[in-house]
Amino acid sequence: MRLKKIFRKQYWDLTGCIHNHTSYSFDCDVALKNVIKAAKENKLDYFTINDHYNNNVKNDPALKNDLGIHIIVGAEINDPDKNHHYLVFNSDEILSGKKVEEYVKFYKNVGAIGFIAHPYEKRSSRYFRKYLWKTDELLDVNGLEIWNYSSSWLGKLNPITNGILMLIIPNIFVQKPLGKNIKLWERYQDNGKRISAIGSTDAHGTLISKGFIKFRVLTHRKVFAAIRTNVLIEDGKEINKENILDSIKNGNSYIVNYKWGRPYNFYGGIADPDGNGVIFGEEINWTEGLRYYFHLPCMAKIKLIKNGKKIASDINDKGWFEIKEKGRYRLEITRFNFGWIYTNYIYVI
């Protein structure tokens, strides 16, 4: 957790990992205490648990200790065909056997917060199925995963041609968010729905047994070191689970792959000539002289995206782009041609 000054305000920048599984999920056998250990080793400020069809981890004895880390418990549900995966927070109700339209509407009505999980996926091997978001309807969600570590990795895995290499150096195969996921996010935005984009780990720590040999694939410790969603909370607000989740929901956040650099000195935002500025997820009135400022800990390629299209780019560690008209603006930042930082939108109205 770091305190950053952005224009005339100070914000706490918290780093964390969204969408993780524990032994309470049918597809994971990793105890919560070991997930917490992995999170501490990676110096996370928070992480979320989204076990399939339950939130029983709430009763785990490990949560009764003063952990020094914020653990947000939700759940992951899907439809009867195992598609339309959905991360749900702030509700103890677990719906099963329902269509996606039904459970998204239900959770919205009870005040829950929900994010689409890995909406689109690719597969290099027919041995692994895809879990897709198939509806064309723009449902009332709060956000979606544009970048899911496990989904990205599995999309490149072919046990015959690259299996060993992907186990040894998995991070070089997790390169950028899937374009179709970003397009779905943009489609929501084009229709006036200001939903947030998140990055996730989807950690399972799957145990593989081959005779006397046993090993885990994509352990929590390993994936926690890569894709995270960092949140910004204004100084003076309490740092708690509720405010972390609100920042994620409102888009006061950015996605960062820590394997390509730690964003210690990173900030971005739009300000007017008088120094009045806003951060990701916020809006500002258009006026002459608006600029989108950025600052990075090292040189990188920065693209300015307006309404889903690149309108400018630079290679630098700090600078600004002129904002000439109303619209929504975000940054895509790459290093070594790998995706590094993806911000949520700022809205110029």
At 161-212, the pLDDT tens digits run 998 899 899 999 999 999 999 999 999 999 999 999 999 999 999 888 777 7
What does the block give as tokens for 80?
């009867």
CB 85 within 8 A of CB 131: yes
pLDDT, residue 297, reads 96
Gap between the Cα atoms of 341 and 18, Å rounded: 16
47-56, 62-71, 136-145, 249-258, range with the lowest pLDDT: 62-71
Q: Which residues pair with 233 in a beta bridge?
A: 12
- What would the mean pLDDT of 228-255 be, rounded to a whole number? 98
Handedness of CA 95, 98, 102, 103 (dihedral sign): positive
pLDDT, residue 116, reads 98
Cβ neighbours around 216 below 10 Å, total: 15
CA 136 from chain centre, in angstroms, equals: 22
Gap between the Cα atoms of 23 and 67, Å rounded: 19
All structural domains of the chain: 2-260 (3.20.20.140), 267-348 (2.60.40)
Grade residue 67 by pLDDT with cuts at 50, 70 and 90: confident
pLDDT higher than 90, residue 52: yes
Gap between the Cα atoms of 10 and 125, Å rounded: 47
Q: Which value, in Å, is the radius of gyration of the alpha carbons in the chain? A: 20
Q: Which residues of 22-54 are buried (b: 16+ CB within 10 A; e: fewer)?
A: bbbbeebebebebbbebbeebebbbbbbbbbee
3-state secondary structure (DSSP) of residue 307: coil
Spatial CA neighbour of 53 closest among 15, 7, 91, 16: 91
User: In the chain, pLDDT over 70 holds for what percent of residues?
Assistant: 100
**Furthest C-alpha separation in the chain:** 69
CB 57 within 8 A of CB 25: no
Tracing tokens 């929900």 back to the chain, one arrives at: 114
In 191-326, DSSP assigns E strands to 196-200, 206-210, 213-217, 227-234, 253-257, 267-271, 277-278, 283-284, 291-306, 309-322
- What would the mean pLDDT of 234-255 be, rounded to a whole number? 97
122: phi then psi, degrees, rounded to nearest 5? -115, 160
Gap between the Cα atoms of 26 and 29, Å rounded: 8
What does the block give as tokens for 159?
């046990």
What does the block give as tokens for 72?
């947000």
What does the block give as tokens for 111?
């005040």
pTM: 0.96
pLDDT higher than 90, residue 65: no
What does the block give as tokens for 6?
């952005």
Handedness of CA 156, 173, 168, 257 (dihedral sign): negative
CB 315 within 8 A of CB 300: yes
| Element (DSSP H or E) covering residue 327 | strand 327-335
Average pLDDT, rounded, for the chain: 96
121-125, 134-138, 205-209, 288-292, range with the lowest pLDDT: 205-209
DSSP state of 107: H
Query: What residues have CB less than 8 Å from 264, skipping those under 6 apart?
Result: 2, 297
Tracing tokens 């489609």 back to the chain, one arrives at: 187
Grade residue 66 by pLDDT with cuts at 50, 70 and 90: confident
Strands 113-116 and 86-89: antiparallel
